[in-house]
């Protein structure tokens, strides 16, 4: 019953048609929230007592870091769906999410490195948080490369899913690295289980930036998925009717 | 909460010497995300045209 439900609602055709309906709303709302969060954070949030104005990178770095990990987690769920239930769309979504994940992980690494110069006195340190995030970036590139290196797309889907599932072990390591090891990186400013450690005047624009970044990346993901699905299924009749 | 945090536009851009770190990070990120959208939209249009013409 679960299998028939999943297969019924996870056809590539349904995905393309359903996401096309709300793509514009997601993209424009995402860009609006991102602009609001960033303008609020850059111009109106107060200066940090310790880090001065360099802390304003937080409104980009934290959303980027959160989604660098969340996208991989999403890919791992899709990989399980593909391996267990042979859901074709799940493999398409992994392949389409990997470039988005690589992009946002690069932004997280880049913004963190620049932020490190005024706060730590160095742009790079081989500590647990930064190294595990670099490994995440390499994982994303590896997934893209692995899939592209096979001529048999179905076989590539399966191997890519296995690699994604194996690599998910890195996510809790990134998350807990600041607690498990001595590191230059500060602990999480906001967690689900505890009260935030930053002032509300900084927290609100940060939450808006996180929401905006999430929606913007979902919009980009939808767009790349559509491109990939049409590429993979271009010989199918529904694609020829759709374009 | 909605008071401009700087005394002038110049101060806002300089950010007490931290603007040199803050602004490039935002500009590069905006550029990369925009390229992501642009490249995908362009490829999608080209692919749709190719399928239609075939």
Interface confidence, given as ipTM, is 0.95
Q: Which of A53, A60, A198, A204 to mutate to test the interface with B (most CBs of B within 10 A)?
A: A53
What pTM did the predictor assign? 0.93
**CA dihedral sign, ordered A158, A164, A165, A166:** positive
Residue B2 confidence (pLDDT): 77
In a domain, A2, yes or no: no
In a domain, A153, yes or no: yes
In a domain, A73, yes or no: yes
Domain that holds residue A152: 16-187+197-242
Residue A125 confidence (pLDDT): 86
Domain count, chain A: 1
In a domain, A8, yes or no: no
A223 contacts B40 by C-beta, under 8 angstroms: yes
Q: How does the average pLDDT of chain B come out, rounded?
A: 95
Question: If you average pLDDT over residues B1-5, what whole number do you get?
Answer: 84
pLDDT of B53 over the 90 cut: no
Residue A199: count of CB within 10 angstroms of its CB: 12
pLDDT of B38 over the 70 cut: yes
Distance from the Cα of B50 to chain A's closest Cα (Å) equals: 10
In a domain, A102, yes or no: yes
Residue A183 confidence (pLDDT): 75
Cβ–Cβ gap B22/A100 under 8 Å: no
**CA dihedral sign, ordered A109, A112, A116, A118:** positive
Q: Which residues contact A82 (CB under 8 A, 6 or more apart)?
A: A88, A90, A91, A94, A157, A158, A161
Unique residue bearing structure tokens 């932004």: A107
In a domain, A3, yes or no: no
Residue A5 confidence (pLDDT): 66
- Interface residues of chain A, partner chain B, Cβ below 8 Å: 38, 42-47, 52-54, 56-57, 60-61, 64, 99-100, 103, 106-107, 110-111, 114-115, 117-118, 201, 204, 216, 219-220, 223-224, 226-227, 230-231, 234, 239-240, 243
Q: Residues of A with CB below 8 A from B29's CB?
A: 60, 64, 107, 110-111
The pLDDT confidence band at residue B14, using thresholds 50, 70 and 90, is very high
In a domain, A192, yes or no: no
Residue segments in chain A with a per-residue pLDDT below the cut of 70? 1-5, 7-9, 190, 192-193
Residue A231 confidence (pLDDT): 95
In a domain, A10, yes or no: no
């Amino acid at each position: 019953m679960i299998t028939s439900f999943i297969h019924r609602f996870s056809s590539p055709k349904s995905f393309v048609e359903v996401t096309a309906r709300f793509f514009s709303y997601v993209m424009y709302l995402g860009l609006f929230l991102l602009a609001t969060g960033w303008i609020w954070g850059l111009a109106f949030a107060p200066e940090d007592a310790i880090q001065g104005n360099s802390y304003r990178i937080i409104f980009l770095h934290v959303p980027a870091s959160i989604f660098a990990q969340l996208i991989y987690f999403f890919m791992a769920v899709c990989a399980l769906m593909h391996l267990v239930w042979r859901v074709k769309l799940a493999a398409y979504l992994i392949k389409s999410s990997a470039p988005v994940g690589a992009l946002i992980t690069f932004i997280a690494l880049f913004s963190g490195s620049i932020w490190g110069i005024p706060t730590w006195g160095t742009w790079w340190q081989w500590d647990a948080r930064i190294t595990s995030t670099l490994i995440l970036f390499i994982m994303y590139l590896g997934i893209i490369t692995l899939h592209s290196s096979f001529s048999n797309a179905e076989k590539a889907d399966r191997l890519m899913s296995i690699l994604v599932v194996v690599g998910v072990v890195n996510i809790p390591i990134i998350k807990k690295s600041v607690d498990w090891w001595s590191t230059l990186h500060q602990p999480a400013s906001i967690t689900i289980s505890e009260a935030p450690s930053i002032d509300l005047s900084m927290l609100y624009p940060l939450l808006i930036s996180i929401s905006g970044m999430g929606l913007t990346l979902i919009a980009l993901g939808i767009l790349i998925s559509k491109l990939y699905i049409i590429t993979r299924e271009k010989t199918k009749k529904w694609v020829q009717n759709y374009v | 909460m909605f008071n401009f945090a700087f005394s002038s536009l110049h101060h806002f851009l300089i950010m007490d010497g931290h603007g040199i770190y803050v602004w490039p990070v935002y500009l590069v990120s905006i550029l990369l995300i925009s390229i992501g959208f642009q490249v995908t939209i362009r490829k999608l249009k080209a692919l749709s045209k190719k399928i239609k013409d075939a």
